[in-house]
Every structure is written in C-alpha cells, then in structure tokens.
C-alpha cells in the first residue's frame, strides 16, 4: 500500500504593496505546481501584500486589499483542484493577525493565525499583530468580497487547526514558530499530522542557512513526517534580503531545496512523497505514549473533501519517489558576492534608476562595493543568457531599449555602473589612483579619474575669509587636531557633493536620461567605531556593505580574486587601509587602524560582544580580560588587564561620541549580527554620558587583580 502525493512549495520575489505583481507571481507559482501534478502548494509569509510593510500594517486598506487579491486568486480558473496556503493579514474582533488562508476550489477552508510573533532583531511583529492563543478556534466572518463569490461562503473557522483530507493530513505553522522552544510541529506530529507547512519571511544573514536547515531537519527527524518550507526572496523595499531556499524534507532527509540567491521572481520546488513511509518513524512506543496525551487531541480538524494522493498516481509504476539529497550551502564569501548583488538588482529595477555610481578610492571598501556590483552584472548576464524574460526586459530599459542579449558582464557593467576616483594632488597617492583605474578596467565600469582640489580650495577660501585672520592648517603643518579634522572633512564632504552631481548628470552626458543611485562604502566596523565623516561619501542612496565586517570583506575579495578572475584585487588586499585625507609626507602616511586605535578584527569582536552577546562596558572587560590574555600588542608585549580596559574604554567612548552618525547613515543591507544600524536594527540612544560609573567599577576590578598578582609574586 502506498499513498504517493506530489507537493509543491515556492519562493517568490514579492514587493511591499505591489498587489498586482504579488498576485501574478503567486498565480504563476500555482500554475507551475499544477503542471507538475501537485495537489498542495505553500506560499511565503504575508506574500499577498509583501512582508516588510512596517507601519502600513496599521492601515485598514492593507487588510481589505489583501482579501481582494485572495478572491482573485481562489477564483482564477488556473488555481482550482489544488490546496493553496496563502499568507495575508486578517482582522478579527478588533485585533490584527499575521495569518494563513488555506483555500480549495474557491472556498476558504480555514484561517490559521500566527501563534508566536517575531519581535526581536529586525522584526517588530507585535507592534502590528496580536499572537493567537494556542488551541483556540472559533468562527470567522469572511469579508464581503469573499461572500460575493460563487460559493457564497459566509464563515470559516479561525485558529490553530489541522486539515484532514480524504487520504492525508496537514497543518500550518509560520516562520518564528519553527525557531521557538515549544514549536507547534512537535504537537502536530504527535497528533498524527503527516505534512507540516511552514511559510516564512526569513532574511539572509551570513552563515544563517545552516541553522535554518538544522532546525527543519530536527523538526521531522524525531517523529517523522513531511515538512514543507516556503520563503520570500529578494528585496521587498527595505534593508533586508530574503534568501529563498524553499525546502521539502521527509523524516529528517532533504528531498528538495530551492536556490538561495537568484534573479528569478518565481521558483517552485516540487517532490513526490509516499505518506505511508512516515509510519516506520512513528512506531516508537515512547512516541505512542506521548501521542495519547489529552493535550495532543485538542487540535480541531477541518474535514477536506479532496484527495492529496490521486488514484492515477498510485497506479503508475513509473511514478518514482523523490530521493533524498545533501543540502546545499554557500561559502560566506559567496554569500557576500551573491546576496547583496541580488538585493541591488531588485533595488535598481524597482527604483527605475539608470544605474549606480560609487566613489572609488583605491581602498578595499569601495573595491568591495564595486566588485559586488560587478557580481550583479554577472548574474544579470547569466539570466539573460538563460532567457529570463523579466531580467531581459529590465536590462533592456537600462540599456536605452537596446537588446541586452549577447552583452558580456563587463559590457553591461559599463552601461549601468560609473566609478569615480576623486583625488587630491597632495593627499592622494599614485598607488590608490592606479588601483582604482585598474579595477575599473577589469570590471568594465565607466570610470572617471579626477581631482577635487578646486572644490576643496574654494571651500577653504570661503571659510578663511569668514574667519580671517584665522586660517586652519593640517597637523603636519603645525595645525591642531580640530583643524586637522575639519580640513579632512572639507575633502570627504566635497566628494559627497560631487558624487551626487555626477549621479544626476553622467547619464545625460552619455546620451541617456535618468539618474544614477549613489552607493556607499562604509563597512559595519567603521560604522560601529564612527570612523567616517557625517555626510561624506558614506552618505549615499544605499550601501551594499553597510552590514559586512572588514574581516569578511577581505575574505570576499580574496575569494573573488580567483572565482571572478580578477587578479587586480590582490593589490587591494596587500594595501594598508588609509583614508588619504591628510597630506602625505616622507615621515607620515595616514593609516586607518592607527587612526582608530583598533584593528578591524578587534572591532569585530567588540561589536559582537556589544550586540550579539548583549554586554556593556563592564561585561566586555570581564570577557576580554580572559579572551585576550594571550594577545600580543604591536610592541611585542603581552596585553595586560589594564591594556584590555583601555581598549574597551576607548571603544565605548568612540562608539558613544559617534553614535549620532548612525541616525543619518545610508540604508545598508543587513548581513551581520552586530550591525549598528540605528534606523531598524540597533535601537540605542545617540547621546551618551561618559560611563564614569562603569570606569570606576572596572578600575576597582583592576586594583584587585593587580594586588592579587603582586601577592603571587611576593609569595613566590
């Protein structure tokens, strides 16, 4: 005896409030699933309006519009004879819920609201939605647009329900519920539910996929069963990239996995499973004992007059079950190459801009931004070659309606990407200028090599005239630190003004219309330390590397040197990071790490302790006085507890005095768990005291340590 059935899940590139586009992508996925013989399809979380609406969730229109789209989908002739699990928000008794509407043949079988809301990190679901109480089920009055359909359906059940078809059972859980200790799927499997559907809006974070796959494996490995996972993919209008990887597993084994990074708007993953194969995983007597717990049987079951396992499929001897496979993972370097590139493509095509521009300094950060843009061009050209109609249409617009087919990545890059080296005769080195020119030539960008001395001198002259007879000087010429910093900022802010001027005018100068989006190149560690100028060329439209650490960027550049065939990148890896904002003399060349007082690796550690481990100044000291006890300083001496204290003290000082910069930072793609983005993720003050209490507390600890050390020496 077998119960073979074909199941589909999908990943969709949805966009907030794009009701028409979102509907068409859902219908396209349903059609593809039906063509593959599937009797059930799962779609991503809140896929009808898009996930990242933020305060738009507080608008009645969103709820009404979403039901309008549901009505259009479930009555579409192409969407019949298949169970469809759709994501939308619903209102019920003056509360709002993140919910699933499970439909079949023009009828809503039931609504399953989300039980556990995601309310940390990047997510604020409890700002908008109410968690549904476990086990509660009641009647729901359907909106007029559903009641007016041919079925004339007025009510359905809403709550934590399961579905019992004629030959199989299934139930839904949503995103966060997989990540919680008391996950619903455990109860469902004990209740004999054979298929669990998880619709998600899970964002990309470097190295996060491993955790996600392990959680899904664990969800079915203990008691058996099919687990279907659907996820959004793409940029839906904010700082997150949703990375797909729709999956179907059976009893701890991966049967199918969608791509993690792709420019395809719709991707459907389909498998054939035998529901009778679940039985061997559920014959444990201890499981049977737990399954008889009265709490297991409280789940209300919705009867569905439909077969998941078609008779023709059971009689077909050639119908082979999907074999298990090893899950696919990308290296972290590949994640950096592909995730931001896909996000940038979505942002570019949906903003209707003409391309991108980046100030290319000859340093590794702007180099990484340029290389990621080149990666985007490589992906676009590959999709064009594969016949992706959506990508071809978007690329054709960017190419002034010329057919983009046949273009190389370098040729496409030249059409949509401008790099600008904005040098200073006295501050900029020949090496950084040459590196910028060489990189632009290698990736094919439209490169501009210029000096900004006239802009800076003009600003210097205006300020000097105003403050006469005072004239600011660099510190190498006898000026103070205040003067030195102000003169550096003359340059960096001039670059921002020039970048935007060129962004508006470069397309016109090349015979085209429209404007370029300006890319920022401040990495997560520089944002954390505040080692950047407010409103300099870190101020841009978007920042692809704003959530990536310097350490990971270096690894990415090293990887791209080989995998992208760009030997020019070796020059950037070997170069000493420098802002080149001060005059170069025979005795002095500005160095980023020397200026900051920290290595980038140290900043990465401090950032994770502050954000991921949730430690304050004292907690960081207590942790690092142990972790860094074997660390050797630049002078060759081992780091003492006092050295650690001053590292932590200085870090918190610079973090505090520069925190205000984060309130104006360019929106950066979130990729790192300790990003200091004030706008969405890192909600902390931007005006701080000087941590006097914490200083006294650590200094007391140091005194005890020193006295103890002295006692050991005297005792010896």
Judge whether residue 591 has pLDDT over 80. no
**3-state SS, residue 307:** coil
For the question of residue 114 being annotated catalytic, the response is yes
Provide, rounded to the nearest whole percent, the portion of the chain with pLDDT above 90.
73
pLDDT digits (tens, 9 = 90+) for 297-353: 889 999 999 999 987 777 677 788 999 999 999 999 999 999 999 999 999 999 999
If 0-12 CB within 10 Å is exposed, 13-18 middle and 19+ buried, where does residue 702 land? middle
Enumerate domains of the chain plus CATH numbers: 4-329 (3.60.110.10), 333-587 (3.40.50.620), 597-715 (3.40.50.620)
- Tell me the CA distances in angstroms from 595 to 141, 426, 493, 599, 643, one per residue in order: 64, 19, 19, 10, 17
User: Catalytic residue among 8, 10, 45, 694, which?
Assistant: 45
Q: What interhelical angle do 364-385 and 430-443 show, nearest 10? A: 10
Q: How confident is the model at residue 285 (pLDDT cuts 50, 70, 90)?
A: confident
pLDDT for 272 equals 96
Q: How confident is the model at residue 585 (pLDDT cuts 50, 70, 90)?
A: low
* pTM for the whole structure: 0.90
Distance in angstroms (rounded) separating the CA atoms of residues 514 and 398: 10
User: Catalytic residue among 118, 175, 245, 309, which?
Assistant: 175
pLDDT for 712 equals 59
Report the run of H or E that residue 287 belongs to, with start and end. helix 285-291
pLDDT for 579 equals 58
If 0-12 CB within 10 Å is exposed, 13-18 middle and 19+ buried, where does residue 479 land? middle
Residue 201 tokens read as: 């809006």
**Would you say the C-alpha torsion 439, 443, 444, 447 has a positive or negative sign?**
negative
For the question of residue 361 being annotated catalytic, the response is yes
- Tell me the CA distances in angstroms from 354 to 37, 349, 351, 591, one per residue in order: 42, 9, 9, 36
User: Catalytic residue among 361, 366, 375, 549, which?
Assistant: 361
pLDDT digits (tens, 9 = 90+) for 481-526: 999 989 989 999 999 999 999 999 999 999 999 999 999 998 888 8
pLDDT for 583 equals 62
Give the rounded distance of the alpha carbon of 167 from its chain centre.
Answer: 39
Q: Please report the DSSP string for 314-348 in residue order.
A: HH-TT-PPPPPBPPP---HHHHHHHHHHHHHHHHH
pLDDT digits (tens, 9 = 90+) for 422-479: 998 877 888 899 999 999 999 999 999 999 999 999 999 999 999 999 999 988 889 9
Radius of gyration of the chain (CA): 29
Q: Which residues contact 72 (CB under 8 A, 6 or more apart)?
A: 23
pLDDT for 678 equals 75
Q: How confident is the model at residue 264 (pLDDT cuts 50, 70, 90)?
A: very high
pLDDT for 343 equals 96
User: Catalytic residue among 114, 354, 554, 647, which?
Assistant: 114
Q: How confident is the model at residue 710 (pLDDT cuts 50, 70, 90)?
A: low
Provide, rounded to the nearest whole percent, the portion of the chain with pLDDT above 70.
96
- Tell me the CA distances in angstroms from 591 to 49, 63, 200, 429, one per residue in order: 48, 54, 44, 13
Beta strand 226-234 pairing with 195-200: parallel
């Amino acid at each position: 005896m077998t119960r073979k059935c074909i199941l589909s899940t999908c990943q969709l590139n949805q966009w907030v409030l794009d009701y028409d586009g979102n509907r068409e992508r859902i219908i396209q996925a349903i059609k593809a699933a039906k063509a593959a013989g599937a009797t059930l399809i799962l779609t991503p979380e809140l896929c009808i309006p898009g996930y990242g609406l933020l305060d738009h969730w507080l608008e009645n229109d969103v709820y009404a519009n979403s039901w309008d789209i549901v009505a259009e989908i479930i009555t579409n002739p192409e969407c019949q004879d298949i169970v469809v699990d759709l994501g939308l928000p619903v209102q019920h008794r003056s509360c709002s819920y993140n919910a699933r509407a499970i439909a079949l043949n023009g009828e809503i079988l039931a609504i399953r609201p989300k039980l556990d809301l995601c309310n940390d990190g990047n997510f604020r679901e409890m700002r908008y939605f109410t968690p549904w109480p476990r086990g509660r089920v009641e009647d729901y009055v359907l909106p007029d647009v559903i009641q007016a359909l041919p079925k004339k359906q007025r009510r359905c059940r809403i709550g934590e329900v399961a579905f019992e078809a004629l030959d199989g059972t299934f139930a839904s859980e949503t995103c966060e519920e997989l990540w919680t200790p008391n996950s619903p799927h455990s109860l469902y499997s004990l209740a004999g539910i054979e298929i669990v559907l998880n619709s998600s809006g899970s964002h990309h974070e470097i190295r996060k996929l491993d955790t996600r796959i392990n959680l899904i494996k664990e969800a079915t490995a203990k008691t058996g069963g099919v687990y279907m996972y659907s996820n959004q993919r793409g940029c839906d209008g904010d700082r997150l990239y949703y990375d797909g990887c729709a999956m179907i597993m059976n009893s701890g084994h991966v049967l199918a996995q969608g791509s993690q990074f792709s420019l395809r708007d719709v991707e459907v993953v389909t498998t054939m499973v035998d529901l009778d194969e679940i039985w061997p995983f559920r014959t444990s007597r201890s499981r049977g004992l737990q399954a008889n717990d009265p709490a297991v049987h409280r789940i209300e079951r919705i009867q569905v007059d439909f077969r998941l396992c078609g008779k023709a499929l059971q009689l077909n001897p050639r119908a082979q079950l999907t074999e298990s496979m090893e899950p696919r993972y990308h290296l972290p370097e590949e994640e950096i190459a592909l995730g931001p590139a896909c996000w940038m493509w979505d942002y570019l095509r949906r903003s209707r801009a003409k391309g991108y521009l980046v100030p290319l300094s000859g340093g590794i950060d702007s180099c990484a931004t340029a290389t990621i843009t080149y990666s985007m061009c490589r992906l676009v050209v590959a999709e064009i070659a594969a016949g992706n109609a959506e990508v071809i249409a978007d690329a054709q617009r960017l190419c002034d309606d010329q057919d983009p087919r046949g273009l190389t990545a370098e040729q496409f890059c030249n059409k949509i990407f401008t790099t600008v080296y904005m040098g200073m005769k006295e501050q900029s080195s020949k090496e950084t200028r040459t590196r910028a020119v060489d990189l632009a030539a290698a990736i094919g960008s439209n490169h501009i090599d210029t000096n900004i001395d006239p802009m800076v001198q003009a600003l210097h002259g205006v300020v000097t005239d105003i403050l006469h007879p005072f004239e600011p000087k660099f510190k190498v010429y006898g000026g103070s630190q205040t003067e030195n910093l102000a003169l550096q900022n003359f340059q960096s802010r001039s670059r921002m003004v020039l970048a935007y001027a060129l962004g508006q005018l470069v397309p016109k100068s090349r015979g085209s219309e429209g404007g370029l989006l300006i890319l920022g190149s401040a990495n997560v560690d520089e944002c954390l330390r505040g080692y950047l100028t407010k409103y300099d060329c870190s101020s841009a439209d978007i920042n692809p590397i704003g959530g990536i650490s310097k350490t990971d960027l270096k690894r990415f550049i090293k990887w791209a040197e080989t995998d992208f065939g760009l030997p020019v990148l070796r020059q950037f890896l070997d170069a000493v990071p420098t802002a080149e904002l001060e005059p170069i003399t025979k005795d002095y060349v500005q160095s980023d790490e020397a200026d900051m007082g920290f290595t980038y690796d140290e900043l990465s550690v401090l950032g994770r302790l502050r954000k991921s481990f949730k430690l304050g100044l004292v907690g960081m000291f207590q942790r690092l006085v142990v972790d860094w006890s074997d660390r050797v300083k630049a002078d060759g001496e081992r780091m003492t507890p006092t050295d650690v204290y001053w590292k932590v003290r200085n870090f918190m000082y610079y973090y505090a005095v520069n925190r205000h910069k984060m309130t104006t930072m360019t929106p950066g793609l979130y990729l790192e768990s300790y990003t200091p983005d004030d706008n969405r993720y890192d909600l902390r003050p931007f005006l701080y005291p000087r941590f006097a209490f914490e200083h006294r507390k650590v200094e007391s600890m140091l005194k005890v340590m020193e006295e103890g050390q002295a006692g050991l020496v005297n005792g010896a």
